[in-house]
Amino acid sequence: MKGNRRDFIKKTAIAGAGLALAASPFGRTFAALASDKKVRLAVIGTGSRGRYLMELLLAQKVNPNYELVAVCDNYGPSLNEAVALAKRYKINPKTYTDYSQLINQSPVDGVIIATPLHQHAHITIDCLNKGIHVLCEKAMARTLDDTKAMYDAHINSGSILLIGHQRLHSNQYINALERIHNGEIGVIGQMKAYWHRNHNWRRDVPDNQPDLERKINWRLYKEYSAGLLTELMSHQLQVANWAMKKYPVSVMATGSIQYYKDGREVPDNMAAIFSYDDGTQFIYDSMTINKAEGCEEHIIGDYATMKLESNNILREDPIKPEPAPGIAQLINDIQNGLFKSAPIGGSSWAAETAVSYNGEEIYKGQDGDGTREEIVHFIDYIQQKSSPEWMTKEGYYTSIWSLLTEKSIESGERITCPDKYLIG
Amino acid sequence: MEFGITQIRRIMKDITIKSKNIRREMIIWLLLLGISFGLNIYSIIKYQSQWSELYSSLGFVIAISCTLYIAIAIIRLFYWVILKIVRRS
Ligand SMILES: NC(=O)c1ccc[n+]([C@@H]2O[C@H](COP(=O)([O-])OP(=O)(O)OC[C@H]3O[C@@H](n4cnc5c(N)ncnc54)[C@H](O)[C@@H]3O)[C@@H](O)[C@H]2O)c1
């Protein structure tokens, strides 16, 4: 990695201030002043995620300074559902089956891209080169070269490129990460995350159109996706990098198709260990046959552990509640049998049992996972004509390291990042 | 009936509160208040809590002194009733 830690902190601080400004009502007023023109948006890829983003966009009232002017999907049923959804909000966007027609014919300021992973890079690059700002779903691209090409197009065009890591926009995560960076959990010694689900990830394909299998179940085929790595792990790797304020230096990973031997090509379970230059490890695993442990990120410090998904902090020395007044304690002790016979000593063979302590809530008041805020921020950034650069880098390195994890699984080796993918 | 209306009337007449009685009851309660206050000092030392509890826990102290007073009053009442009955027979 080229950038050093001090650089990262400095840039993160500046960008963080930008985010805070954008997230505040003052920031929004400022943004609205920056341009009173309505932001014209389009959604490309109106499958399940695309329509979810559309719905959030249409339902949100925080920033009314935008309009959805076009939607595009190359699969009829997805496009029809998007049109029906827009109609419910009394909106009639233009429809396209080819994104290049959309960007050539419809004047748009920004696009939201929610196509399958292998369809991110060329669409994003074409939009950026046309001066259209892009919010592209995570992960960035299917290959390392495409990921770099997307980043380069962003730098060369000067257009905004935001990657859909919604935790970056969640107030719960922003608050927790700020507290981690302020030293509340002490020195980070290890990070641990997992995403366990009980689902085979398969979607039904219409009986009369078996040729749609690869289009509908793109997540299961290597040509289009790196499976668990780009779909799930990338979210949590981004959080780990955010906590560390730096990126890994190596990854060792393994994975297999152990359970769902149904013709899929991507692993149905995997485990990886990422190392950072200070020796901190990020230990990750994902599986698809059991959801008992669910999804979690543990950031473990010498003072405390933060469990970010469950919004919980477990202190090594829990803050003791204010003791009751002495006299109340005395009465309590009398009630509890102060005068009972006291044993001479405890039994030496009894093992220490874990202290039962459920930790404390980190943050109150976050509704949802940050996707709604992500969209609001994207509109704000378009109005301000700039976005926090560190966020784009987070998306970039997360994608790079997700794909390097795949290389480690395939080669069985510890993998480092080739110099050509390092950015300043 | 030996322990009838007349008997109760006589007892009622006996418990008419005189100022001398009030002073005695006040002294008993003040004594108990002192004991409760002492208990507060003892618990501040024993549990190493704040000396400010000398006044912040006054509510507790008064409540304890009242509880003790009531407890002692009940014992005294029993004692007094038994004594009356014994004397009468
Ligand atoms: N951030 C998150 O939490 C999150 C959650 C789910 C999905 N995603 C991401 O969203 C993206 C889409 O996932 P999904 O579950 O909605 O997939 P999906 O298969 O349901 O939808 C993808 C849609 O894109 C369309 N499409 C494919 N190629 C196209 C092209 N060239 N032009 C226009 N449309 C095209 C498909 O026809 C389909 O309708 C993926 O990148 C995925 O990783 C992110």
In-domain check, residue A380: no
Whether A105 and A190 map to the same domain: the answer is: no
Domain membership of residue A51 (yes or no) is yes
Q: What is the structure's pLDDT at A10?
A: 42
| pLDDT band at B56; cut points 50, 70, 90 | very high
Please report, rounded to a whole number, the percentage of residues in chain B having pLDDT higher than 70. Answer: 83
Q: Is A106 left (phi over 0), alpha (psi -120 to 50) or beta?
A: beta
pLDDT in tens, chain A (424 residues): 333 444 433 444 444 444 444 443 334 434 444 556 899 999 999 999 999 999 999 987 656 789 999 999 999 999 999 999 999 999 999 999 999 999 999 999 999 999 999 999 999 999 999 999 999 999 999 999 999 999 999 999 999 999 999 999 999 999 999 999 999 999 999 999 999 999 999 999 999 999 999 999 999 999 999 999 999 999 999 999 999 999 999 999 999 999 999 999 999 999 999 999 999 999 999 999 999 999 999 999 999 999 999 999 999 987 777 888 888 888 888 888 755 655 555 556 666 666 578 899 999 998 899 999 999 999 999 999 999 999 999 999 999 999 999 999 999 999 999 999 999 7
Considering the domain architecture, whether residues A74 and A90 belong to the same structural domain is answered as yes
Please tell me whether residues A19 and A119 are part of one structural domain: yes
3-class DSSP assignment, residue B30:
helix
* Partner-chain contact B40 A327, CB within 8 Å: yes
Same domain, A266 and A350: no
Phi-psi group of A110: left, alpha or beta (phi > 0 → left; psi -120 to 50 → alpha; rest → beta): beta
* pLDDT for res B11: 64
Distance CA A207, CA A118 (A): 25
User: Residue A49 burial by CB count (10 A; 0-12/13-18/19+): exposed, middle or buried?
Assistant: middle
Domain containing A354 equals 321-358
Tell whether A158 and A203 lie within a shared domain: no
What is the DSSP annotation of A301-340?
A: ESSEEEETTTTEEEESSPPPPPPPPHHHHHHHHHHTTTTS
* Interface confidence: ipTM more than 0.95: no
Alpha-helix runs per DSSP H in A144-272: 144-157, 171-181, 213-216, 228, 234-244
A268 plus A129 within the same structural domain: no
Residue A153 belongs to a domain = yes
Q: What is the model's pTM? A: 0.78
3-state secondary structure of A250: strand
Residues A82 and A132 reside in one and the same domain: yes
Residue A174 lies in a domain: no
Q: Look-up: residue for tokens 């926009």? A: A169
- Shared domain check, A334 and A199: no
Q: Which two tokens stand for residue A158?
A: 């000067």
Which of residues A133, A168, A203 is at a domain's end? A168
A51 CA: nearest ligand 1 atom: 16
A119 CB under 6 A from ligand 1?
A: yes
Contact assessment for residue A316 and residue A303, using Cβ atoms and an 8 Å cutoff: yes
pLDDT digits (tens, 9 = 90+) for B61-79: 999 999 999 999 999 999 9
Q: Quick check: B3 pLDDT over 80?
A: no
| Record: contact A323-B42, CB cut-off 8 A | no
* In a shared domain, residues A151 and A281: no
Asked if B57's CB is within 8 angstroms of A323's CB, the reply is no
- Split into its structural domains, chain A has a count of 3
Q: Does any domain span residue A12? A: yes
Biggest alpha carbon distance in chain A?
A: 89
Interface test mutation site (partner A, options B36, B39, B45, B47, max chain A beta carbons within 10 A): B47
- Asked if A337 and A274 sit in the same domain, the reply is no
Any atom of ligand 1 within 6 Å of the Cβ of A74 = yes
Same domain, A417 and A298: yes
In sign, the C-alpha dihedral spanning A277, A281, A285, A291 is negative
Is A240 in a helix, a strand, or coil? helix
The answer on pLDDT for B89 being more than 90 is: no
CA distance A288 to A299: 23
What pLDDT score was predicted for residue A340? 63
State whether A193 and A211 are in the same domain: yes
Q: List beta partners, residue A284.
A: A193, A272
Domain ranges of chain B: 5-88
pLDDT of residue A351: 66
